[in-house]
A = this chain, B = another copy of it.
Amino acid sequence: MSLEGRISINLATTRGAWGFAEAVDGCLRHGITAISPWRDQVHAIGLKEAVRIVQTNGLKLTGHCRGGMFPADTLEGRQANIEDNKRAIDEAAAMGADCLVLVVGGLPGSSKDIGEARKQVLEGIAAILPYAQAQSMPLAIEPLHPMYAADRACVNTLRQALDICEQLGEGVGVAIDVYHVWWDPELEAQIARAGKMGAILAHHICDWLVPTRDLLLDRGMMGDGVIDLPRIRGWIEAAGFHGAQEVEIFSQDNWWKRPGDETLATCIERFNTVCTR
């Protein structure tokens, strides 16, 4: 079966081997026509060239990674973060991405007040929402695993992300990454809720390794860990989302050390054997 519309490669997955242009060439060699790039990869080649590559090849962008990181310990810092998010929206719109993924940020400065951080996140998303809507760019809040609550994202469950979506209304949805949410006893119910809200904007996949040797950079290839990927995909499709499954693997000591072609070939093989029933 064609991979068209079914699998996307988040370019973090081949970060160890390839920049933007090489990764696109690699994906096309393997029959993959959807990607999700990171801002630093786009900046390295230049936005104009990235847009050219995307358009020339008719690529689909299942997301642009990433906006967010709203909290700061000064008003100036928060305002600078908002401006930076507007630039991320510009880039996502220029490349025609499906959404801008938001990793919302953790505790500002030396603060221990996670409630305040969450307030700043809500205010930050509210502040960029009109700008995003003017460019028809959906904002995808990605709840991150609770182990990142301090330093990366203080939105840590799908329930919490959807509560924010309900508060802010049109233009804000969620990116559901199995790595972050697979453990959640409310996952099935909250995915169904997200479906009713029309809020599912992206579905990211990888696997949770046992043991996990690094909190950030030891994600597993689909099938190498404990996540029941077809079950979660089933819930997501039952909720009405049929977009591509986006492979996003941070793996400093394993996949990032391998040739990009090997990583992509493995992604495709595992996608076909592990990710759907």
- A contact residues vs B (CB 8 Å cutoff): 107, 112-114, 118, 145-147, 149-151, 154, 156-157, 159-160, 182-185, 208, 210-212, 215, 225-228, 231
The answer to whether B146 and A184 have CB atoms under 8 Å apart is yes
The answer to whether B146 and A226 have CB atoms under 8 Å apart is no
The answer to whether A107 and B226 have CB atoms under 8 Å apart is yes
- Chain A interface, >50% SS class: loop
Q: Inside 8 A of A184's CB, which chain B residues have their CB?
A: 146, 156
Nearest-neighbour CB distance to chain B for A205, whole angstroms, equals 14
Residue picked from A182, A185, A210, A225, most chain B C-beta under 10 Å? A185
Nearest 8 Cβ contacts at the A-B interface:
A149-B183, A112-B228, A146-B183, A150-B226, A147-B147, A160-B185, A150-B210, A146-B146
Partner of A151, one of B151, B156, B182, B211: B211
Residue picked from A156, A184, A225, A226, most chain B C-beta under 10 Å? A226
How many copies of this chain sit in the oligomeric assembly? 2
Nearest-neighbour CB distance to chain B for A250, whole angstroms, equals 15
- Determine the distance from Cα of A211 to Cα of B210 in the docked complex, in whole angstroms: 20
- Determine the distance from Cα of A159 to Cα of B156 in the docked complex, in whole angstroms: 15
Q: Inside 8 A of A211's CB, which chain B residues have their CB?
A: 151, 215
Partner of A183, one of B114, B225, B226, B231: B114
Q: Which residue of B lies closest to A155 (CB)?
A: B185
Partner of A112, one of B112, B149, B227: B227
